[in-house]
Structure 1
Amino acid sequence: MSQMPKIFIDGEYGTTGLGIRQRLETLPVQVCSIPVEQRHDMKVRLDMMAQVDLVVLCLPDDASRESVAAIQSLSGHRPKILDASTAFRTHPDWVYGFAELQYGHDEKIKAAPLVANPGCYSSGAIALLHPLVEAGIIAKDYPLTINAVSGYSGGGKQMIASYEVEKNAPPFMLYGLNLQHKHLPEIVHYAGLSREPIFVPSVGNFAQGMIVSIPLHMDTLSNDVDVSDITLCLKHHYETSKFVRFMKDKPAKLAGDMLAYTDQMELHVHTNDRKDMVVLTAIFDNLGKGASGAAIQNIRLMLGV
């Protein structure tokens, strides 16, 4: 683009929107805003959308669908759309915004008019599972269990207030125990699974950060694979990646906030002396590579900046 690209963040006052807005200060783009009192006025928002190169939607699912329908009703210029909700993550017309999914996926994001930003838990689970399922190391119908802990910032302004203002939140909390978390469809879809995993998310008393962990018994995997097969598969898949790194070390402890305030993700393979059990882990910032950081990565690709 010859001129500085213009971006409008629809929902810029939420946690993800604020994170994107802050990160955009370092990019050669023009961020366009509307007065805060007009943020619910669809006509004002649509007038702004018609003037920009990219609209970033940081809205609840139904509001995102409404905004997308409004943009697609425009008769003239239509901006590209990056949506941070769960509304379009498995939609066939949208490209999933996890650039490291497979070779050449970043080029698909570059060319796409519609990109769905991944969920935070999903990013860690898919980063670990997709290469292993694609290689046949983990069967598509393997009975997976995924455990995860996130910093409380992932719960939005109300949960942040309960930890930082009211100070009445628990130090640790399991949730989603109906086993129907909203990130499950994209995990199944982009990990290439045919059986839905048991996914148990949790929240800890730290602001930002996330660990996704997946335990495996080696004798239940496909084709008599061993730990070195898992290690080599993940190492090869991410060897040229800038933001997702496979780590050779096998730390005995991991802190949930060790990559807080960064846009990096680190993957580990932990095993015992007998090498008959494995725990796969992904560590990252739930607001970084799990949200706003991933959005900036996609914005760079979509606008060529």
Structure 2
Amino acid sequence: MSASVFIDGDQGTTGLEILARLFGRQDINLITLPEALRKDAAARAVAINDCDVAVLCLPDEAARQAVASIRNPRVRVIDASSAHRTDAAWVYGFPEMSPQQSGRIAQARRVSNPGCYPTGAIALLRPLVEAGCLRSDAPLSVHAVSGYSGRGREGIQAHEGALAHEALSFQHYGLSLQHKHVPEIQLHSGLQDRPFFVPSYGSFRQGIALTIPLHTAMLRRPMTTRALRDLLAQRYRDHRHVQVLDAAQTDAMTRLDPQALNGSNDLQLAVFGNDTHGQILLSAVFDNLGKGASGAAVQNLALMLGLGSASDSGHKNDTLHPMEHAA
């Protein structure tokens, strides 16, 4: 018997990607509302209370209202907004975050999908903090560039619409240092102090390249670039969606391509360094619409419905490229 899944906000960037990834599956019965009822509170309340899992692709306040409208205790929720990412009552939907996390997600009633940038930052930082390698009070800076789809429909229209010729090819933002992803990064990375976060958009549709520079003085004990790389490789060795590049691969790289993993649910981590100068560069490359949003939501959905393996957090069909399902 197929599970019923209601996508609230299915016409937004994340919602459309989730629909594309789930299209044609026989083990899921998708519920969406016709255009005339998408903003009808009563119709949305009926739909959300009549499904097995609701996936919320909404602004934060709308997501909170949607959750408040749930009266049916059997309804489970995946919230793709940032409304509940630091809420202790919700399970953080990053299956690879810890050995136990996929099991927690599988059993959870409420799952908060991670933010795109935090996915890369947490994947790099948390293992180092937990292993006692990186000081939790280190003065960290996270730098990242995302495709313009990270701005949602507004960003896509700006770069693909009638006024696309006026769009900036590159722009930093979040200059008030109040970006909503920072508390999420700090909490789930296990950091004592608030990191600097410097986000930006480039003139490409999707993909993220994220970097975190480290001085060896930030480490709790002397460690080489190779040792840190080996630690991450060991940590993610059983996770099919996370790849840690080896020494030969990193030595051969001269640049990071933020679009390298577009269309996938994969996360590629690398550790570059110059041990002579005591400098290390951590990096993550992934699709902001894949592992950074819709792909992660589908991965969590597979876990919650028992359609994937809790050991590798994967199912053959849980991360299919959108175009493989497109009509």
Report TM bin, short chain: over 0.9
Could you say which residue in structure 2 is the equivalent of 1:123? 119
Local SS of the residue matching 1:100: helix
Q: Deviations over 1:253-305 (max 9, x none)?
A: 11111111111110000112626211100000000000000000000001112
Q: How much has 1:49 moved relative to structure 2?
A: 1.6
Contact 2:134/2:218 (CA < 8 Å) preserved in 1? no
Distance in 2 (CA, whole Å) between partners of 1:127 and 1:26 is: 31
- The answer to whether 1:146 aligns with 2:146 is no
- The answer to whether 1:57 aligns with 2:86 is no
- The answer to whether 1:159 aligns with 2:152 is no
1:73-88 alignment runs, 5 A limit: 74=71, 76-88=72-84
Could you say which residue in structure 1 is the equivalent of 2:312? none
Query: For residue 46 of structure 2, what is the amino acid of its counterpart?
Result: D
Distance in 2 (CA, whole Å) between partners of 1:24 and 1:283 is: 24
Could you say which residue in structure 1 is the equivalent of 2:282? 280
Could you say which residue in structure 1 is the equivalent of 2:216? 218
Distance in 1 (CA, whole Å) between partners of 2:104 and 2:183 is: 21
What residue ranges of structure 2 are gaps of 5+ in the alignment? Answer: 308-327
Query: For residue 23 of structure 1, what is the amino acid of its counterpart?
Result: R
Match among 241, 244, 247 for residue 246 of structure 1: 244
The CA RMSD measured in Å over matched residues stands at 1.1
Match among 127, 130, 135 for residue 134 of structure 1: 130
Q: How much has 1:78 moved relative to structure 2?
A: 3.3
Contact 1:227/1:275 (CA < 8 Å) preserved in 2? no
Distance in 1 (CA, whole Å) between partners of 2:193 and 2:157 is: 37
Contact 2:225/2:275 (CA < 8 Å) preserved in 1? no
Q: Deviations over 1:44-99 (max 9, x none)?
A: 1111122210000000110000010111xx1x453100000111011111000000
Local SS of the residue matching 1:223: coil
1:181-260 alignment runs, 5 A limit: 181-248=179-246, 249-250=249-250, 251-260=253-262
Query: For residue 40 of structure 1, what is the amino acid of its counterpart?
Result: K
**How many correspondences in the alignment?**
300
Match among 266, 269, 290 for residue 268 of structure 2: 266
When normalised by structure 1's length, the TM-score is 0.96
Query: For residue 43 of structure 1, what is the amino acid of its counterpart?
Result: A
What's the % identity of the aligned pairs? Answer: 44
Distance in 2 (CA, whole Å) between partners of 1:300 and 1:136 is: 33
- The answer to whether 1:103 aligns with 2:99 is yes
Could you say which residue in structure 2 is the equivalent of 1:171? 169
Query: For residue 300 of structure 2, what is the amino acid of its counterpart?
Result: N
Could you say which residue in structure 2 is the equivalent of 1:294? 296
1:87-98 alignment runs, 5 A limit: 87-98=83-94
Q: How much has 1:225 moved relative to structure 2?
A: 2.4
Q: Deviations over 1:225-274 (max 9, x none)?
A: 22233112101110000111111121121111111111111000011262
Distance in 2 (CA, whole Å) between partners of 1:26 and 1:302 is: 19
Distance in 1 (CA, whole Å) between partners of 2:224 and 2:257 is: 27
Could you say which residue in structure 2 is the equivalent of 1:22? 20
Single out whichever of 274-283 and 185-194 deviates more from structure 2: 274-283
Q: Quickly say closer, same or farther: Cα 1:44–1:95, change in 2 above 3 A.
A: same
Distance in 1 (CA, whole Å) between partners of 2:7 and 2:218 is: 46
Q: Quickly say closer, same or farther: Cα 1:218–1:26, change in 2 above 3 A.
A: farther
Distance in 2 (CA, whole Å) between partners of 1:26 and 1:104 is: 31
Local SS of the residue matching 1:266: strand
When normalised by structure 2's length, the TM-score is 0.90
Single out whichever of 128-137 and 76-85 deviates more from structure 2: 76-85
Local SS of the residue matching 1:245: strand
